[in-house]
A and B are shown apart, each in its own frame.
Chain A
Amino acid sequence: MKIVACVKAVPEEQDIAIKSDKTLDLSKAELKVGQYDLNAVEAAVQLQEATGSEEPILVTVGSTKGLKNSKLQKAMLSRGAGALFGVADDSLDSIDAFATAKNLAAAISKIGGVELVICGEGSGDIYSQQVGPILGQLLGFANLNAVSRITLMGDKLEVERTLENEIEVLEVTLPAVLSVTTDINKARIPGLKEILAAGKKPTTLWGAADLEMTKEGNIEVISTLAPPETQRQQMVFEGDSEENIAQLLDNLRKVL
Chain B
Amino acid sequence: MNKLAKVFVIAEHMGAMQELVSGAAQLGESTALVWAGDKGQAVGADTVYYLGELNNDRILEHYAPSIINLVKTEQPNLVLVESSRKGRLMAGTLAAALGTSVLADATEIIIDNGVVTKRMVYGGAALSSERSSAPTTVATVSPGVFETAAAGKAANLVEVPFVAPATSVKCRERKTKAGESVNLRAAKRIVAVGRGFTAPEELKLAEQLAAAIGAEVGCTRPIAEEEKWMDKARYIGVSGVMAKPELYIGIGISGQVQHMVGVSSARTIVAINSDKNALIFKQCDYGIVGDLKNVLPALLAQLGK
Contacts and interface: CB of A to CB of B under 8 A. Distances in A.
Contact of B287 (A218, A224, A237): A237
Interface in A126-147: 126-138, 140-146
A168 B290 contact: no
Q: Interface extent on B, as a size class? A: 35 or more
Contacts of A165: 176-177, 181
Interface of B: 13, 59, 61, 64, 84-86, 88-93, 95-97, 99-105, 116, 119-134, 166-177, 181, 213, 225, 232, 238-239, 246-247, 249, 257-258, 261, 264-265, 267-271, 276, 281-291, 294-295, 298-299, 302-303
A24 B125 contact: yes
B295 A245 contact: yes
A245 B247 contact: no
Contacts of A219: 101, 103, 130-132
A220 B101 CA distance: 11
A236 B271 CA distance: 8
Contacts of A183: 225, 232
A222 B116 contact: yes
B231 to A, nearest CB: 12
Contacts of A167: 173-177
Contact of A234 (B92, B116, B175, B287): B287
B98 to A, nearest CB: 9
Interface residues of A, number: 83
Interface of A: 11, 13, 16, 18, 24, 96-99, 101, 121-122, 124-138, 140-146, 158, 161-173, 176, 179, 182-183, 217-227, 230, 232-240, 242, 244-246, 248-249, 251-252, 255-256
Contact of B126 (A225, A232, A239, A246): A225
B101 A99 contact: yes
Contact of B92 (A13, A137, A233): A137
Contacts of B170: 170-172
A179 to B, nearest CB: 8
User: Which 6 pairs of residues, A with B, have the shortest CB-CB distance?
Assistant: A133-B92, A240-B290, A98-B101, A128-B104, A137-B96, A173-B168
B121 A125 contact: yes
Contacts of A132: 92
Given A165-B181, A218-B134, A221-B130, A255 B267 contact: yes
Given A224-B126, A236-B287, A127 B101 contact: no
A136 to B, nearest CB: 7
A133 B89 contact: yes
- Of B89, B132, B267, chain A has the most CB atoms within 10 Å of the CB of B89
B177 A166 contact: yes
Contact of B172 (A126, A145, A170, A236): A170
Nearest to A176: B167
Q: Which secondary structure dominates where chain A touches chain B? A: mixed
Given A137-B96, A221-B128, 20 more contacts: A13-B123, A97-B104, A124-B123, A126-B122, A128-B102, A129-B88, A130-B101, A130-B102, A131-B92, A145-B92, A165-B177, A167-B177, A172-B170, A173-B169, A222-B131, A236-B276, A239-B290, A240-B288, A255-B247, A256-B247
A238 to B, nearest CB: 5
Given A140-B167, A255-B268, A234 B282 contact: yes
Contact of B177 (A97, A162, A176, A237): A162
A237 B232 CA distance: 32
Contacts of A223: 128-129
B302 A249 contact: yes
Contacts of A227: 120, 124, 126-127, 261, 264
Nearest to B173: A169
Given A137-B96, A218-B132, A235-B285, A163 B88 contact: no
